[in-house]
């Protein structure tokens, strides 16, 4: 059974989000690998080591994959192979894809996840979790041709395109543009201090102080993106949008959303 996928929208991380990730990773017995590759800040890994130590985690280690040559370091890969939880920090998602992509470290992350290890990412780390990653794009509410650039991500799921800092940075337009290219994926726009906990059964639960915007493109009947010139607004007919607050859920297979009042299976500890 595969592990949980946990995209977090960035900025502050509430204690409830951290506690649930730690619980899913094994509680005080967890062995958490922190990967600060996205960040240019040299102490980012150390910062999150302390964050998880304050959560009572006995074993936590920052693996500073700063260059592609670091990604086949035998000692770090050995430590990573025994991790019970992985946390990817924020920064620049292109640093994650260009440094980790195609390396033994990325292969190890997918292997761990396939064997039940939860993998969380905040901000850039959230965007990187899926197969289709937003590399960069413009802000704004209206989708426009050429507004967003996609590239391959880590590949833990091919069902999603994830965007972070969502409502704080007005990113509805670029997520809609990304989905218009091929309306196969579901779009997740995750607010700051908010997480989508996606379980092995493909049910997503929302936790945090904000909301998750779910865009389901499966019923799109028309998109003008193929004919639009760069910068032109795109017409999209038939997309379904859900705004899900804390405790709400969405099933990625049935595409059914449930508000918190009806989602009786939501348990903050997992």
The domain segmentation of the chain, as residue ranges, is 5-258
Determine the pLDDT at residue 206. 97
pLDDT of residue 267: 46
CA angle 95, 26, 212 (to 5 degrees): 55
Show which residues are catalytic: 123, 165, 192
What is the model's pLDDT at position 268?
A: 44
Question: What's the 3-state SS for 104-167?
Answer: HHHHHHHHHHHCCCCEEEECHHHHCCCCEEEEEECCCCCCECCCEEEEECCCCCCCEEEECCCC
For a pLDDT cut of 70, what percent of the chain falls above it? 97
Q: Which of 147, 183, 187 is nearest to 166 (CA)?
A: 187
pLDDT, tens digit (0-9, with 9 covering 90-100), for 228-258: 999 999 999 999 999 999 999 999 999 999 9
- Average pLDDT, rounded, for the chain: 94
Does pLDDT of 171 surpass 50?
yes
What is the CATH code of the structural domain delimited by 5-258?
A: 3.40.50.880
Query: Could you tell me what percent of the chain has a pLDDT over 90?
Result: 93
pLDDT tens column, 30-63: 999 999 999 999 899 999 999 999 999 989 999 9
pLDDT for 262 equals: 67
pLDDT at 261: 73
Q: Look at residues 103, 108, 104, 70 and name the one whose alpha carbon lies nearest to residue 86.
A: 108
pLDDT beyond 70 at 265: no
pLDDT band at 269 (very low <50, low <70, confident <90, very high): very low
Q: What is the dihedral angle through the alpha carbons of 158, 105, 199, 171, rounded to the nearest 10 degrees?
A: -60
């Amino acid at each position: 059974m595969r592990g949980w996928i946990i995209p977090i929208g960035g900025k502050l991380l509430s204690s409830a989000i951290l506690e649930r990730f730690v619980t899913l990773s094994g509680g005080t017995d967890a062995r958490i690998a922190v990967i600060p590759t996205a960040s240019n800040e040299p102490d980012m890994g150390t910062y999150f080591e302390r964050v998880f130590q304050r959560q009572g985690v006995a074993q936590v280690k920052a693996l500073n994959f700063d260059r592609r040559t670091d990604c086949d370091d035998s000692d770090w890969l050995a430590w990573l192979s025994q991790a019970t939880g992985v946390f990817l920090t924020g920064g620049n998602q292109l640093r994650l894809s260009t440094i980790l992509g195609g390396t033994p470290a990325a292969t190890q992350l997918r292997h761990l996840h396939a064997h039940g290890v939860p993998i969380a990412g905040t901000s850039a780390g959230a965007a990187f979790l899926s197969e289709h990653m937003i590399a960069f794009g413009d802000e704004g509410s209206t989708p426009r041709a050429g507004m967003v650039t996609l590239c391959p991500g880590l590949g833990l799921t091919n069902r999603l395109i994830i965007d972070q800092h969502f409502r704080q940075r007005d990113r509805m337009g670029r997520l809609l543009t990304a989905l218009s290219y091929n309306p196969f994926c579901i779009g997740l726009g995750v607010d700051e201090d908010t997480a989508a906990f996606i379980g092995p059964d493909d049910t997503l639960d929302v936790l945090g102080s904000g909301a998750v915007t779910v865009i389901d493109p499966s019923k799109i009947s028309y998109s003008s993106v193929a004919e639009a010139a760069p910068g032109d607004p795109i017409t999209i007919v038939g997309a379904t949008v859900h705004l899900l607050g804390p405790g709400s859920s969405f099933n990625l297979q049935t595409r059914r959303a449930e508000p918190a009042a009806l989602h009786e299976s939501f348990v903050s500890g997992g």
